[in-house]
Amino acid sequence: MHSTSNCRCRCRQPLSAKKAVKLAGLTVLLLVVHCKPLAIADDTHALHSHYLANAGVMVAKGETRLLFDPFFRNDYGVYQLVPADIEAAIMAGMPPYDGVDAVFVSHYHDDHFDPALVVAYLLKWPGVQLYAPQQAVDVMLQAVEMPGRDVLDRIHGLELLAGGETIEIHADEIEIEAVAIAHAGWPSRNTDIDNVAYRVTLDASTSVVHLGDADKNREHYEPHRDFWHARTARLAFAPVWLLLTEPGRQVLDEYVRAQQVIGVHVYDQVPRDPADRPEEFDGLDIFVTPGEFRNHDSAAPADSQSLLTD
């Protein structure tokens, strides 16, 4: 594992010059609320996760806001787009999407990443940092007019090799760790896509994971066994195919080891009402309705829960 002083990441500015990002802890799910997109939870000190669409989520606690894969405009005809009112609220910095500290991009596919939207957001909000695979950064800077130094200095391109070492970035109370996990479809397709999984540790004790479009095969995770076992994540956002397949559930149990897993990247045709869903979705915790948020209790369970059937 690398620290910021010796990592193999190529950033537009040394990582030590980044704006400090402050986060607070992640906690146990108490309540599922289907709310208006701009609703603000009463308890500002509790951790909340807000569903945007597809793999897009916001994690919030106190004054801290983190966005994962929030800006995209292609649903490929099967996924969900961020509703226009939610996208507009994010761009305008309206509650609860105000005061965002950082944006994390898993990879450059169009259902996760729109270069023009990302740059527009960075231009509008000069306090926001962007973390993305260097491949996505290169695509972005080729697709849009070159932004000024004030934006470039906040774009942090991460260079990672599948099976290689992790990147570790320290910024005051927050620790960002990144590891390359092959994109779903390996080895027959998407082998040229750099997919980054993030683990962000908050308050020096609580971690949240976002896996992007991670593949289900264990050979992508085994080289990083020590990395995954170094911390027990409080919460993980995983593509739903990891929850729906036995190999996927095995890697979540054996490697990611999160105390709570919420499935994202769910097909738009999956019914909103759990009672109407196919049997394979029984018992799964998934995000399906843009604007939905979760209020997570402050007391995490002592042990992670297995996703494998007995």
Domains of the chain by residue range:
21-297
pTM above the 0.85 mark? Answer: no
Lowest model confidence (mean pLDDT) among 3-12, 59-68, 77-86, 167-176 = 3-12
Half-sphere exposure of 159 (CA within 13 A, CB side): 8
pLDDT tens digits, 142-157: 999 888 999 999 999 9
CA angle in degrees (0–180, nearest 5) for 28-21-140: 105
Q: What is the pLDDT of residue 162?
A: 72
d(CA 220, CA 182): 7
Run of H or E residues at 227 = helix 225-229
d(CA 145, CA 143): 7
Q: Is the pLDDT of residue 83 over 90?
A: yes
Of all residues in the chain, what percent carry a pLDDT higher than 70?
A: 79
Q: What is the pLDDT of residue 35?
A: 37
d(CA 22, CA 157): 20
21-297: CATH number: 3.60.15.10
Q: CA dist 65 to 58, 60, 249, Å?
A: 7, 5, 29
Q: What is the pLDDT of residue 21?
A: 31
Backbone CA torsion sign across 215, 218, 166, 51: positive
Q: CA dist 280 to 75, 253, 286, Å?
A: 23, 18, 12
d(CA 51, CA 277): 19
Q: Indicate the average pLDDT of the chain.
A: 82
pLDDT tens digits, 208-251: 999 999 999 999 999 999 999 999 888 999 999 999 999 999 99
Q: What are phi and psi of 225, to 5 degrees?
A: -55, -45
pLDDT tens digits, 5-29: 334 344 433 333 333 333 333 332 3
Contacts 24+ apart (CB under 8 A), 14-19: 15/156, 15/169, 15/171, 17/153, 18/129, 18/154, 18/156, 18/169, 18/171, 19/101, 19/127, 19/129, 19/154, 19/171
Q: What is the pLDDT of residue 50?
A: 95
85 forms beta bridges with none
